[in-house]
Structure formats: structure tokens, C-alpha cells
Amino acid sequence: MSFPAQDPVGRLIEQLRRLPGIGPRSAQRIAFHLLRAPQPEAEALAEAIVEVKRRVRLCGVCFHITEGERCRFCLDESRDQGLVCVVEQPLDVFAIERTGYRGVYHVLHGVLNPLEGVGPEQLRLAELVERVRRGGIREVIMATNPSLEGEATAMYVRRLLEPFGVQVTRLARGLPAGADLDYLDDATLTRALEGRQAL
């Protein structure tokens, strides 16, 4: 069943369909869930969406999400400001934080993806170069995903930062916890063997 686009329910379904991973059926289900939900619950959701768009912006230094000019990591003087972890997306910051990392971040908001037409100019790469050029950074950790695109981005950043003499490191690649060797692909196993360590 389809709803006219000018109908309030139709408009809601149409807006929900634009969200990642939401198809037409899911959009309908969520719309009808909201219709049945108590008024305060639906209003709280609408207000949260409006507020996040009004108040949240990107940090002027690392481009992580923040409510002020600078994010809490960049403002925290107890963190090592000379150690920069470069990640693809803001969500990756939260993943790295779970490890107890005490440096700061730089969020690229994507990775180089030549096959999808994503080039260097669409990422926050120029800002990273400028940050390193200003000085005070001794190591840049490339924490992009261990995919073809992530590796390309890491290599590209290494080339960009070569003239500044800063150390560029890459997250280790190897076996995931609980993995079954028999099912691993050759590339992962090769990297795991290359990166083996003495017990």
C-alpha cells in the first residue's frame, strides 16, 4: 500500500526511507510505530533530531563531532596532543576510546575510494597536512579500516606527510579474536605471519 506524498504519513515514510539501511517496508513499520507511540515519545524523538542538527557541529581541529568550537579530546590537556590517531568516521573514535588510548584524533569523514569517485579533495586531508605543518605532532597513527580503500588512504597520507618528517604508523593487521584459521583468507594470514611476535 502506498501513501500520497502530501499525506502526513506519506511524508514521514518518505523521510524515513532516506535513512541508511531503511527500505520501504521498514519505513512503513517505523512510521506506524510512531503513530501508535504516546505523544511525548514521538515529540522527544523529533526534538532530539532537531537539537542534534542545531547544536552538533564538527570540531575545528580534528573534525570529530562536538557542541563547541573544539571537541573534548582536543581540549583535554591531559591527553598526548603530539599523538594523532586518524580514523575514517566519528564512530571509529568511540571504538578507539574503548582501548584506553590517550592521544587525540583526526576524522577524515571517509576513505579514498577510486571506484566510487571519492578522491583526496573530498576528505579532511588538507586539514591534516596543515595540522602537521603547524608542528607539535610527533606521530600519526593511521587507523583506517584494513580494506583496500583503508590501505590506499593510509599510503596516501604517508606520502603527503613525508616532507614533514613526522612518524606515520599503521594499526597492526592479523587474526581477529576467536577466528578459525581454516576459514581465513590468504591476505589476512600473510599479514598475520608477517606481523608475528616473540612469545
CB atoms within 10 A of CB 152: 15
Nearest CB to other proteins, comparing residues 80 and 194? 194
What's the closest the beta carbon of residue 21 comes to other proteins, in angstroms? 5
Do 34 and 28 contact (CB within 8 A), yes or no? no
**Rounded Cα–Cα distance for residues 65 and 72 (Å):** 10
In the structure grid, which three cell numbers stand for residue 69, read together? Answer: 568550537
10 Å CB burial of residue 89 (0-12, 13-18, 19+) is middle
Nearest CB to other proteins, comparing residues 77 and 186? 186
What's the closest the beta carbon of residue 170 comes to other proteins, in angstroms? 11
What's the closest the beta carbon of residue 159 comes to other proteins, in angstroms? 6
Nearest CB to other proteins, comparing residues 104 and 157? 157
What strands lie across the sheet with 167-170, from one edge to the other?
Answer: 103-107, 80-87, 139-142, 167-170
Nearest CB to other proteins, comparing residues 4 and 165? 165
Specify the DSSP class assigned to residue 118. B
What's the closest the beta carbon of residue 149 comes to other proteins, in angstroms? 8
Q: Which residues bind other proteins (CB under 8 A)?
A: 21, 112, 114-117, 119-120, 147-148, 151-152, 155-156, 159, 162, 176, 178, 180, 183-188, 190
Q: Give, in degrees to the nearest 5, the angle at Cα 15 between 11 and 16.
A: 115
What's the closest the beta carbon of residue 97 comes to other proteins, in angstroms? 18
Nearest CB to other proteins, comparing residues 115 and 198? 115
